[in-house]
Structure 1
Amino acid sequence: MALDFTLVQLRYFQEVARRENMTEAAKQLNVTQSAISTAMAQLERTIGLDLFIRQRNRSVVLSPAGKRFLSEVTPFLEASDNLGETALGLSRRLSGDLTVGVFSPIAPTRLPLIHSEFEKRYPDVRINYLEANLQELQAAVIAGDCDLALTYTLGMTDRFDRFLIDVVKPHVLVSLDHHLGGGGKRPRPIHLRELADENYIQLDLPFSTQYYDELFRIAGVEPIVRHTFAGYETVRSFVAMGHGYSLLSQSVSSGTYIGSKTVDVPLLDDFPSIDLAIVWPKELRLSKRARAFCELTLEILGT
């Protein structure tokens, strides 16, 4: 006998399971909490299972039966979405909404190029962006605040699938007038220890800081941290003014907001590289819109 539950109930269930809180799920779905509670009670009554364990603080966690049910619901809803896209002809002309998270230092230099070309190719897709640090992006992707994220994979757990865009090597950033700046010519590659006695301008972002600290450890250098900033461009501006050097991964134009210039100096040290990738929750399958964004990003940024 067929069970009488609806796609709406299943989508509500998936959102509550993801956020472990009916109030937060209701906000995300733009419905009332009572609508969520009623739908979950009806769903549990229909299938004859307790899907959630209710907590005193109003949060919920999946019961063992709920976890098994979610593993079946997720691919079912994905198949439903694909059927809807096919029925609407979206396989030939993409449309709908797509929210992409972007690592803050990448956003101003990479994102405008991607967005411009994406809008030309897929004018019916409404694309929105969430700019954040690495830690915030991972939380946003898992919570469903964005469909996928363009980010470095530092600190990435096995909860994510990824689409590799590029492999990035770290470099030293110095001012144009620095003795290692090349004097207007291409600077020579150096070992990080050559800067051991100079002031270091630190980029202080979750996971990024730990990565650069590990590079210093590998090089056997104790950095002289003179200033610490969370702003990528603030770090670059302080370096451009000659206040110290920095370690960065992304290469951008030499110009800064204050007019002074910086120089990227290659490193000879055998340092680990960073993957630039687009990531999404492992249990979800990319929509055709998201897949198109991945492929276009690789086309524009990939090596």
Structure 2
Amino acid sequence: MTLIQMRYFAEVCHWQNITKAAEQLHVSQPTISVALRALEEETELQLFQREGRKLMLTSDGGRLLGKVTHILEQMRQLEEDVHAMAHHRNLIRMALPLQLGTQFLPKILGEFHHLHPELELDIIESGGISALQMIEEEKLDIALTNYETGSNPKLDYEQLSTCEICFVTYPEHPLAGRESVSCEDLAEEPLVMLDSSFLVYQEIHELYARHNKQPRVMHYSPYLHTIKNLVRHQLGSTFLARPAILPDDHLAVVSLTEPILLKSGIITKKGRPLYADDKVLIHYLQDITRKL
């Protein structure tokens, strides 16, 4: 069984159609048909059965596809690693969650780009939980994010700072002038919150659960600006990491009587090599964190 046969097989499985697979692979339909027949003869397995215009996998075909997909992913990673060893990684895929992005993104897009114009950054703004998952799945190279104390053993963590989760509301709110608020104070508070891809979601739900309460969440959103706008319009209050609130947001930030501190730092995949360009970005992030 050759890699070419595996690629043809996987593409036909994806489209369930030889014509479409041929278009995507830029080869002729007969070429794919011959390769699939040869694959079935070599494996002595019936891999497909035809249903109308579609080619449907048999149970044997499904099992083979699982193994082929794994091999093709390993080959893709090998090709990427070999290329990176021969060249600097000029494209760095990075996660920068929204709550930290308010501080870091202007510097990265401004000063860092000016200092290192040869480096291209593909920055994804996501929640911390999503960022860690994408690092583990090697869809990203680096994440600068908040994370929990219970760390994933498949990832490497370099803590840069800690940040506090706070109660955030509009200036006219009765609790806006308080130094701190408790879970009891907020038991009936209408809330708008970042969704479950963010660590703040998990931490706040755990806080309420410890007090046998449930947060009154009116709306979840993955967008920080949406949450801030809803609070400004007095449609609810929220919880955010303190760095997410800027002076021109004109929002009131109140500490919790039971402090919730998140670690913030640089996350990479354990065992995956860091290349010269990755290290340039990491050193820059370390430097600007010290200056904040």
The two structures have a TM-score, normalised by structure 2, of 0.65
Q: 2:205 aligned to 190, 203, 213, which one?
A: 213
Cα distance in 1 between the residues matched to 2:247 and 2:217: 23
Pair 1:96–1:176, CA change in 2 (3 A) = same
Shift of 1:175: 0.5
Cα distance in 1 between the residues matched to 2:101 and 2:281: 15
Cα distance in 1 between the residues matched to 2:26 and 2:167: 52
Cα distance in 1 between the residues matched to 2:138 and 2:101: 20
Cα distance in 2 between the residues matched to 1:255 and 1:212: 25
Match of 2:254 in 1: 265
Match of 2:147 in 1: 153
Match of 1:227 in 2: 219
Contact 2:170–2:231 under 8 Å retained in 1: yes
Could you say what secondary structure the match of 1:145 adopts? coil
Match of 1:116 in 2: 110
Shift of 1:126: 2.1
Which segments of 5 or more consecutive residues in structure 2 lack a partner in the other structure? 12-23, 28-60
Match of 1:37 in 2: none
Q: Deviations over 1:89-125 (max 9, x none)?
A: x7xxxx7222212224433542121232212322222
Match of 1:300 in 2: 288
Match of 1:47 in 2: none
Cα distance in 2 between the residues matched to 1:290 and 1:102: 15
Whose Rg is larger?
2
Question: Counterpart amino acid of 2:256?
Answer: L
Cα distance in 2 between the residues matched to 1:102 and 1:57: 38
Cα distance in 2 between the residues matched to 1:32 and 1:148: 31
Cα distance in 2 between the residues matched to 1:270 and 1:254: 22
Contact 2:168–2:252 under 8 Å retained in 1: yes
Q: 2:92 aligned to 93, 98, 102, which one?
A: 98
Which segments of 5 or more consecutive residues in structure 1 lack a partner in the other structure? 1-11, 24-30, 35-53
Cα distance in 1 between the residues matched to 2:242 and 2:66: 40
Match of 1:243 in 2: 235
Shift of 1:231: 2.2
Pair 1:32–1:151, CA change in 2 (3 A) = farther
Within-5 A mapping of 1:1-303: 56=63, 58-60=65-67, 84=86, 96-154=90-148, 157-182=152-177, 187-208=178-199, 209-219=201-211, 221-251=213-243, 252-256=245-249, 261-271=250-260, 273-302=261-290
Question: Counterpart amino acid of 1:117?
Answer: E
Shift of 1:201: 2.1
> Counting helix residues as a fraction of each chain, which structure ranks higher?
2
Cα distance in 1 between the residues matched to 2:102 and 2:246: 11
Cα distance in 1 between the residues matched to 2:115 and 2:197: 35
Pair 1:126–1:80, CA change in 2 (3 A) = closer
Q: Deviations over 1:122-161 (max 9, x none)?
A: 2222222223333443343234332112222248522111
Pair 1:142–1:57, CA change in 2 (3 A) = farther
Shift of 1:79: 9.9
Match of 2:53 in 1: none
Match of 2:54 in 1: none
Question: Counterpart amino acid of 1:241?
Answer: H
Contact 1:106–1:250 under 8 Å retained in 2: no
Shift of 1:274: 1.3
Bigger Cα displacement from structure 2, 116-125 vs 101-110 = 101-110
Contact 1:172–1:264 under 8 Å retained in 2: yes
Q: Deviations over 1:256-300 (max 9, x none)?
A: 5xxxx31111122143x2122221211112112112212211222
RMSD over aligned Cα atoms: 3.9
Shift of 1:173: 0.3
Question: Counterpart amino acid of 1:176?
Answer: P
Question: Counterpart amino acid of 2:170?
Answer: S
Percent of aligned positions that are identical: 17
Equivalent pairs, count: 237
